[in-house]
Structure 1
Amino acid sequence: MTFSAPDVLAPAKLGPVMLRNRIIKAATYEGLSHKARVTQDLIDFHVGYAAGGVGMTTVAYCAVAREGRTDRHQILWTDEAMPGLRRLTEAVHAQGAAVSAQIGHGGPVASPKANGLPALSPTRHFHATSLSWAREATVVDLDRITRAHADAALRAIDAGFDAVEVHLGHNYLASSFLSPKINHRTDAYGGSLENRARFSREIMRAVRDAVGDRIAIVVKMNMDDGVPGGFWLDEAIPVVQWLEADGTLDAIEMTAGSSLLNPMYLFKGDAPLKEFADVMPQPIKLGIKLVGKKKLKSYPYTDAYLLEHARQIRAAVKLPMILLGGITDKPVMDLAMREGFEFVAMARALLREPDLVNRIQKDAATPSLCIHCNKCMPTNFTGTRCVLVDRGTTRSASWGKPEGYAS
C-alpha cells in the first residue's frame, strides 16, 4: 500500500477541532500582556497571523500559578484576565482561524524577583540569570500545580480557546522533573524514568479528566535538553509512548533545548549576544558581555532541523504529531507531511511575514524571507517582532523589563 501524504493547506481535524489547514503559529512569548492581562497589542499580534492564513495561532505563555511566571506581566488564569482572553479568541475566530492557549509552570526558569515568590525546582537549583536559588517543590506544591493545570484548561474553554498546549519542555517545571541533570529527588518523583515522568503524566491526566473532549489537548515536550546529562531522545521515546497509552493528548509537538541551561539549542543559528545585552539590566548585561559566548551558543541552522530526532518519535507512536523547527516554506511543509507528520508549527518565519501562509496558498513557490538571525529573540522583552520589519508594536517602556525568557 502506498502512502499518500496529506495536503498541508487542506482542512484537518485536531482532536475535536477542525482547522482550515495544517499550519500552526508556534508559541513564542509575545511580551505584550500587561499586569497579567490581555492588551489590544496582544490581540492584534494574533489577529495578524489569523488574517495571514494560519490554521491555528498559539497564545504564549499563560502561567497556571503566580510563582510560575518568567515575566511579571505574563497572563495568569484569573477572573480579571478572562474578559480580555475572550476578546482575543473572538477576534481570532473572526478571521477564520482557531486559537490555542499554551499553559504551564516556569519552575526553575521562573523569575522570583518579578513574582515576589521563590522559583520551584525538583531539587534546589541555582538560577544564574536571576542570581537566586529555586527551592525544592514539595508534593503539596505538585498537587496544587497539577490541579492548576486542569483549572487553566477549564478556563481556556470558558474563554473560547479551541486547544490548550501543555508545556512539558525547555526545563520548565514539568520538563525539569524529566531531566536527570536537574532532578535529584529520591522520592516517587525522582530516580527512575518512570518516577521522573510521573509529574508530567499526572498533569496530563488531570487536564484530560477535567475537560474531556471539549477542547484539543496538545503537549509540547523535549526530545533533547541540549546539555550533557540532560533528558534525551532515548528517554523521550518511552515517555511519549506512556502519554499515548494514557490517552491524555490529541497531538504532540516535540521540541528541544533548555531555557534554563541552553536556550539557543532550540533555535539554531547565531546567538544575538549584543541584542540580549542591550535589553538586560545589570549585572546580567555585564555577565552576557563576559561569558555570553559560553552560555548562549551558536548552532548551524538547516530547514526542518528537528526532523532527524522527531522522526524517531514518529516511528514509535501513532498519535498525531506537529513538526516544529525550521519550517519555512511549502517544500519543507510537504517534507513534513511525507514523513508522516500531521501538522507543522512555524515561528520565526511568521514573525517576519505574518501573511506568509496566504501567499504560499497563492503561489507554492513563495520563499520565506526569514534569515534566522535570531534577533527577534531579545524583543520578547519589549514586544516580540522581527527587527528587520518595523510594524510599530512594542511594549510600553513604563511596563519595565522582565527577567526571564519564555518559549
Structure 2
Amino acid sequence: MNDVLTPARLGPITLRNRVIKAATFEGRTPHALVTDDLIEFHRAVAAGGVGMTTVAYCAVAPEGRTQHGQLWMRPEAVPGLQRLTDAVHQEGAAVSAQIGHAGPVANEKSTRLRALAPSRMFSPLSMRPVQAASIADIRRIIGAHAHAARIAVDAGFDAVEIHFGHNYFVSSFLSPRLNRRRDEYGGPLPNRARLAREIAEAVRIAVGDSIAVLAKLSMDDGVPGGFWLDEAIEVAQWLDADGHLDALELTAGSSLLNPMYLFRGDAPVAEFAAVMPQPIRLGIRLGGRAFLKSYPYRDLYLLEQAKQVRAAVWMPLVLLGGVTDRASMDTAMAEGFDFVAIARALLREPHLINRLKEEPAAQSLCIHCNKCMPTIFTRTRCVLNSGERVDGNCTH
C-alpha cells in the first residue's frame, strides 16, 4: 500500500506527497485577474503541507466563465499567475490550473456573453435560454483549451486539470439528458465522448511532457436521465487507452441541475438566498429545497462508485469526496487509488496535512455544514474561521 504522505510521480512531475487540494472556486478574482488574496489562499494551503494545490476556475474563454468575476486564461493573466506559482513553489508544493469551459453552467446575465450547450435549453441558473454550440464553436473551444494549457506552462504551473465534470461544457456533451444533437457529437456514447477525447489530445499536444495533465470526470450527474457510472467507466477506459492523461480525478453531481449531489451534508438554502439579488432570493427561499437537496454525509462517500472505475482502468486515479483524515486517506491507498483530493477540510484548516503528519489520529475540524458554499459569490472561506455565525445543526 502506498503511503499517502510520501513522494509520488504524476506524469513528468514528482509531488512531495499524494494529497491534492481540490479545485474550489476561490471568489478572489473580482476583475478576472490574480489578486494578492488569491495568491495568499494557495500559499497558505501549500505551506500547510499538500503535495499540490489546484487553482480554480481558469476559464479557457471569456464566455466559459460561470460569472464575470472568474479568471480566464489570456496573456494579461500571466504575470499574476507567475507570482502565484512562485509563491506556491517557495512553500515546496506543486500547483495545477483547472482549465475548462462552463458551457450551460455559465450565467449569461453575469458574463454578458453567449452561453453554450450541446443543445438548446433553458438555464435554471440564468433563467435564460442557452444556445446550441455550432461545430465552429466546438472547434474554437477545443483550441482554447490547448491555448489555456500553454499559458499555464508559461506561467509556471506544474499541471493542468481539464474540467470534464458537473455539466460544464464537456460534461454536458456526455449527458444524454442535455445532449440531443444528431451530428458526430451527439447520440451514442462514442459521439458524446468525442469532445472530451479531442480536448485531452489537444491539451497534450500543446504541452507535451512539460507538465502533468489530469482531467476531472463525473461518474454520475445525480439526475434522472443523466450521465451515470456505466457510461463513465467506458469513457474512462477510452481516455486511458488514448494515453493523453496522466491521471483522472473522479467526481459527481451537476452544477446545473443538482449541485449538492457532490458535496453531501446540509444544504445551506437560507445562506444561498441571502447572497442573491431579488427576485432570485425570493425564489430560493420558496423553492430552494427542490434544487439544493440534502444528502447524508459520510467519509469517502464516492468510494464505492470510484472503485468500479479503478477496476476498469490502469491510469492513476484521484479519489475525491469525504477525505478528511489519515484513516480515509489510508483506505483510499489500500483500494488502489494513487492520490486523494480534499476541498472543504482545507478551507477549515489549510494546515491540516502538516497536523496529520504530527498527529496521525487527528480529526478534521470541518463539520460539513456547507456554509462555505454561498461564500463563493463574495470570497470563498470557512465561516467558522472568519467568526461568522453558523445557525442550525450541521451534519458531522
| TM-based fold match above 0.5 | yes
2:237 aligned partner: 241
Provide the rounded CA distance (Å) in 1 between the counterparts of 2:150 and 2:266: 39
- Aligned residue type for 2:87: A
Q: What's 1:91 paired with?
A: 87
Tell me if 1:115 matches 2:99: no
Q: Which structure 2 residue ranges, 5 or more long, are not aligned? A: 389-396
- How far residue 247 of structure 1 moved from its aligned partner, in angstroms, is 0.6
2:364 equivalent among 344, 359, 368: 368
1-structure distance, mates of 2:279, 2:117: 23
CA distance in 1, matches of 2:329, 2:227: 28
Hey, what's the Cα distance between the residues in 2 that align with 1:138 and 1:95? 44
One-letter identity of the residue aligned with 2:253: G
Aligned residue number for residue 307 of structure 1: 303
Instruction: Report the CA distance between 1:81 and its aligned residue.
Output: 0.8
- Aligned partner of 1:182 in structure 2 is 178
What letter is aligned with 1:165?
E
1:70 pairs with 2:39: no
Q: Aligned partner of 1:222: which letter?
A: S
Distance across 2 between alignment mates of 1:58 and 1:299: 26
The residue identity in structure 2 corresponding to 1:180 is P
Q: Whole-Å Cα distance in 1 between the matches of residues 305 and 72 of structure 2? A: 33
2:307 counterpart of 1:316 = no
Please say if 1:290 is aligned against 2:286.
yes
> Hey, what's the Cα distance between the residues in 1 that align with 2:139 and 2:387?
43
**Contact 2:21 2:54 (8 Å CA) reproduced:** yes
| Native 8 Å contact 2:74 2:148 kept in 1 | no
Shift, 1:391, TM fit? 7.8
2:149 pairs, out of 148, 153, 157, with: 153
Mapped pair 1:24 → 2:30 = no
Residue 325 of structure 1, aligned match among 298, 313, 321: 321
Q: Match of 2:271, SS?
A: helix
Q: Distance in 2 between matches of 1:342 and 1:358?
A: 20
Q: How far is the alpha carbon of 1:315 from its aligned partner?
A: 0.2
Could you tell me how far apart the structure 1 residues matched to 2:350 and 2:312 are?
34
Which structure carries more relative contact order (alpha carbon 8 Å, separation 6+)?
Answer: 1
1: distance between equivalents of 2:203 and 2:78?
19
> Which secondary structure state, in structure 2, belongs to the residue aligned with residue 242 of structure 1?
helix
* Whole-angstrom CA distance in 1 between matches of 2:375 and 2:311: 37
Equivalent runs, 1:1-400 vs 2, <5 Å: 5-390=1-386
CA shift, 1:390, in A, is 1.5
Are the aligned partners of 2:75 and 2:151 in contact in 1 as well (CA < 8 Å)?
no
Compute the displacement of 1:96 (Å).
0.3
Partner residue of 1:401?
A: none
> 1:209 Cα shift?
1.1
Q: Percent identity?
A: 66
Alignment-mate amino acid for residue 337 of structure 2: F
Following TM superposition, by how much is the alpha carbon of 1:79 offset from its aligned partner in structure 2, in angstroms? 1.5
Q: What 5-or-longer segments of structure 1 have no aligned partner?
A: 393-407
Superposed CA RMSD in Å reads 0.9
Amino acid of the structure 2 residue aligned with 1:229: G
TM-score (norm 1): 0.94
- Could you list the runs of 4 or more consecutive aligned residues of structure 1 that deviate by over 2 angstroms after TM superposition? none
CA displacement 1:104-151 (0-9 Å, x = unmatched): 000000011122112100000111121111100000000000000001
**Does structure 1 retain, via aligned residues, the 8 Å contact 2:250–2:306?**
yes
TM-score, normalised via structure 2 length: 0.97
Tell me which residue corresponds to 2:391. Answer: none
Determine the C-alpha separation between the residues in 1 that align with 2:217 and 2:279.
Answer: 32
Partners of 1:148 and 1:221 in 2: how far apart?
19
Distance 1:386 1:36 in 2: 22
Residue 129 of structure 1 contacts residue 284 of structure 1 at CA under 8 Å; is this kept in 2?
Answer: no
Aligned residues: 388
Match of 1:76, SS state, is coil
Aligned twin of 1:398: none
CA apart distance, 1:34: 2.4
